[in-house]
């Protein structure tokens, strides 16, 4: 599946589901004692009563609290006199119910008004309702939509918010929702992640399912001598790729042929660079970057077309492993980092900054985000270049979620000395221009430690890292 599944539809109330925006406009005109104009829209449309009351107070000198009470009364009276659902609104709500898609009402109106509208529409049509009384901040802040998603237990990125004002659109987009805009009194411009339609008539659950963004699920994986330390390694590698549902895999230690063999078995596309690096992708590869004859260490990149009009670059890197910093117990642990740093800077200089990019790989260096006592320069250089660490975005606390990738099979050093092997996060999925939906380390089964590894289900000495991205930041 290339798109995120539609998890819920979140509806604004006034002007979106019911034709109350005009009632609110007229109520404000009566309290203001004048005809409102287009210049008044930012302080009236989509705003909570309290905001408009303070705005009127500044203009009239009347107490804001008294104005708020009057606005509440005027609007509630108008609502009770007759609520008219917008054309297509009830049909869409009923269709979503038949398809089992949860819905929520998310409004900047107070609870008393929302309950009046809910009674008229049928409160059972909504699993959740969030009003101006339910969050510390209301629209245009993202709080109401975030609250609705939290109660429903859904990810905002998988939700469509239906809104009729620029204020509501700003709230929903700040929360990370896709927006279907149905302007009532003021126009709304189309934008990435925002579809504008004239009304709800003809809008179907199928149409809403087509709106959430495309996703890209990327894995970095050091295959460990191509996997040859493990019996039946190729079949086990294919099993991992199938079970994790990844779309693109940046490979290191391919032993030359792994990328092509895996891609051929999966029916995927691939790029091979030298004897160590490769990328495989379920999506078409439209360009290849870097030296195809790169040495054991270095970088290789591809451009993948996830769907028409949406591409991303994916780079895989393997940095020098000599003099691994955490092995140094006496002296400067970053003494050899200048070699890896030069390699990283070379990679960063090749990355195109005009398209979304994912840079994955085995850096053979810890992260400055995990070990603040040492300024590890390789990951810091990537951060300074605008690349973000997807795993740490998803799991900011390195104590709670260390995310170690080195090493699931080396609790002690493989030299036979018995000394503990440092457990570290040295494999990364970095990105720029994308939104992280989730990130995890992955190891299948329960690997036995070195050297008794031949029959492990997990065919590597590294954990993999898998990040799911939205192609809309």
How far is it, in rounded angstroms, from Cα 215 to Cα 233? 29
SS3 361: strand
Are residues 229 and 80 part of one domain? no
Residue 473 has pLDDT above 70, yes or no: no
User: Is this prediction's pTM over 0.85?
Assistant: no
| pLDDT value at 81 more than 90 | no
Question: Quick one: what percent of the chain has pLDDT higher than 70?
Answer: 99
pLDDT at 355: 93
96 & 161 share domain: yes
Cite the beta strand spans of 290-377 per DSSP E. 298-307, 310-318, 357-362
Task: Look up the CATH number of the domain holding residue 329.
Answer: 3.60.10.10
Predicted pLDDT at 332: 87
What domain range is 92 assigned to? 1-213
State residue 338's pLDDT score.
94
Instruction: Judge if 220 and 205 occupy the same domain.
Output: no
Is the domain of 7 the same as that of 141? yes
Q: Looking at the structure, tell me whether residues 184 and 222 fall in a common domain.
A: no
Strands annotated E in 213-370: 215-222, 248-252, 269-273, 277-281, 285-289, 298-307, 310-318, 357-362
Is 53 within 8 Å of 71 (Cβ atoms)? Answer: yes
Q: Clarify whether residues 424 and 329 are in a common domain.
A: yes
Per 3-state DSSP, the chain is made up of helix, strand and coil in percentages (nearest 5) of 35, 25, 45
Check whether 103 has a pLDDT greater than 90.
yes
CATH assignment at residue 85: 3.40.50.1000
pLDDT tens-digit map of 279-337: 999 999 999 999 989 989 999 999 999 988 789 999 999 999 999 999 988 888 998 89
How many domains would you assign to the chain?
A: 2
Note whether 189 and 299 are same-domain residues.
Answer: no
Domain end marker among 151, 181, 213: 213
Residues 164 and 258 in one domain: no
204: preceding bond cis by omega (within 30 degrees): no
Could you say which of 160, 188, 213 is where a domain stops? 213
Same domain, 249 and 129: no
Q: Report phi then psi at 222, rounded to 5.
A: -85, 115
Mean pLDDT of the residues in the chain: 93
153 and 97 share one domain: yes
Chosen domain end from 184, 213, 242: 213
**What band does 22 get if pLDDT is binned at 50, 70 and 90?**
confident
- 306 plus 354 within the same structural domain: yes
Do 159 and 230 have their domain in common?
no
Instruction: Express each pLDDT in 198-227 by its tens digit.
Output: 999 999 999 999 999 889 999 999 999 999
CB 364 within 8 A of CB 376: no
Q: What is the largest CA-CA distance in the chain?
A: 88
């Amino acid at each position: 599946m290339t798109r995120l599944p539609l998890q819920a539809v979140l509806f604004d109330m006034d002007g979106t589901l019911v034709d109350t925006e005009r009632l609110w406009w007229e109520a404000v005109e009566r309290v203001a004692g004048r005809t409102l104009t287009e210049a008044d829209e930012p302080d009236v449309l989509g705003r909570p009563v309290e905001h408009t009351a303070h705005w009127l107070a500044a203009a009239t000198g009347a107490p804001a609290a008294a104005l708020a009470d009057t606005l509440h009364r005027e609007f509630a009276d108008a609502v009770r006199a007759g609520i008219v659902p917008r054309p297509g609104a009830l049909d869409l709500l009923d269709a979503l119910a038949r398809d089992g898609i949860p819905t929520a009402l998310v409004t900047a109106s107070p609870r008393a008004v929302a309950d009046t509208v809910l009674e008229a529409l049928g409160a059972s049509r909504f699993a959740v309702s969030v009003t101006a009384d339910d969050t510390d901040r209301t629209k245009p802040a993202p709080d109401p939509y975030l609250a609705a998603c939290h109660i429903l237990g859904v990810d905002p990125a998988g939700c469509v918010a239906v809104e009729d004002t620029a204020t509501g659109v700003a709230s929903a987009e700040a929360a990370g929702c896709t927006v279907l805009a149905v302007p009532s009194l003021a126009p709304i411009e189309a934008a990435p992640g925002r579809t504008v339609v004239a009304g709800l008539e003809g809008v179907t659950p199928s149409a809403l399912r087509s709106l959430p963004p495309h996703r890209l699920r990327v894995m970095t994986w050091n295959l460990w001598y191509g996997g040859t330390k493990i019996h039946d390694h190729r079949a086990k590698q294919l099993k991992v790729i199938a079970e994790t549902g990844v779309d693109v895999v940046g490979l290191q230690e391919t032993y030359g042929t792994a990328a092509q063999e895996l891609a051929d078995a999966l029916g995927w596309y691939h790029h091979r660079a030298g004897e160590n690096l490769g990328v495989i992708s379920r999506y078409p590869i439209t360009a290849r970057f870097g030296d195809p004859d790169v040495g054991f260490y270095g970088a290789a990149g591809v451009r993948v077309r996830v769907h028409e009009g949406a591409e991303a670059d994916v780079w895989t890197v393997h940095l020098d492993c000599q003099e691994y910093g955490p092995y140094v117990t006496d002296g400067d642990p970053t003494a050899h980092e200048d070699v890896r740093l030069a390699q990283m800077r070379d990679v960063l200089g090749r990355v195109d900054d005009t398209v979304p990019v994912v840079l994955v790989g085995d850096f053979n260096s810890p992260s400055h985000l995990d070990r603040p006592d040492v300024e590890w320069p390789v990951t810091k250089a990537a951060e300074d270049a605008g690349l973000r660490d997807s795993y740490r975005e998803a799991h900011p606390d390195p104590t709670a979620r260390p995310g170690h990738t080195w090493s699931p099979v080396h609790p002690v050093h493989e030299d036979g000395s018995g000394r503990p092997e440092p457990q570290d996060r040295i494999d990364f999925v970095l990105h720029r221009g994308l939104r992280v939906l989730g990130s995890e380390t992955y190891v299948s089964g329960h690997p036995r430690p070195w050297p008794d590894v031949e029959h492990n289900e997990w065919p590597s000495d590294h954990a993999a890292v898998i990040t799911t991205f939205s192609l809309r930041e």
